[in-house]
Structure 1
């Protein structure tokens, strides 16, 4: 099964479920980390009654799979990877407790049919999570206008008639 299809199937299984927690893996160096998206390595979305959804960005591909979080680890002189719950003021923490109403895959600028990101429609607001040039994009509501040439939001996975 191609990666795009795997990603879409994972997303279909979590629509209509409540986000009960978010786990993040972040890079820390000398006791400090960079900003929200800059320090993020991986994230896991914990929805009710399904295994955690691991998100891994690779170039312009957002890879999603059901997988448990890994443990924190030390990288000696390169710092540490700390794995733990998303915390305020980081953006992902704001969505915990909300019901996921729908998802729209986001196509990157490559010619290959892949998923570069997702627009997650929660009860109170949307969340965009994407991988662009090996960097995370985490924003509220929609893809920023200056990135619209690189990221195209597709159709919602669940039509209004299916709800």
Structure 2
């Protein structure tokens, strides 16, 4: 996470589940996402149970899941929350912890908003502003604040 603090976010790529030509809501259909910052490989976010895993990795290709639908991979689209991030600078980040050892999420401080990204009970939490009450925010990872 530290290598992208202070970086400009140029794009967000999402992997979403589609079924019958439709997808669920913002967090319901989201499988993975990648934050593309200037000068670094994409940062992939993967939620699993009560843990958020971040790693530098390229987006994977779309794929068909037969009777279960398909996974489409492409740019974040409005009105989804992640589509509001490109063009902004990441000022800082803080790990969010729940009841498990690995971090449950991260609080991203951009130049225009704070974004909570977490995985709780195998469900994405994506929201601006406040961290859910069952979670705790650690110290900032950047050099300031």
Q: TM-score range by the shorter chain?
A: over 0.9
Q: Does residue 1:18 correspond to 2:8, yes or no?
A: yes
- Pairwise mapping of residues 1-163 of structure 1 onto structure 2 (< 5 A)? 11-110=1-100, 112=101, 114-143=102-131, 147-149=132-134, 151-160=135-144
Q: Structure 1: which 5+ runs fail to align? A: 1-10
Detail structure 1 runs of 4+ shifted over 3 Å in the superposition. Answer: none
CA displacement at 1:158 relative to structure 2: 2.0
Q: 1:155 is paired with a residue of what secondary structure?
A: strand
Aligned pairs, how many? 145
- How big is each residue's C-alpha offset from its partner over 1:116-149, in whole Å with a ceiling of 9 and x where there is no partner? 1000000011111001111000000121xxx312
Please give the alpha-carbon distance, in whole angstroms, between the structure 2 residues aligned to 1:136 and 1:61: 10
User: Is there any run of 5+ residues in structure 2 with no aligned partner, and where?
Assistant: none
Instruction: Let me know the Cα RMSD of the aligned residues.
Output: 1.0
Could you say what secondary structure the match of 1:102 adopts?
A: strand
Aligned counterparts of 1:103 and 1:137: Cα–Cα separation in 2: 16
Contact persistence 1:25–1:84 (CA under 8 A):
yes
For normalisation by structure 2, the TM-score amounts to: 0.97
CA contact (8 A) 1:125 1:141 kept: yes
Counterpart CA distance in 1 for 2:116 and 2:59 is: 21
In the TM superposition, what is the alpha-carbon distance from 1:160 to its structure 2 partner? 2.6
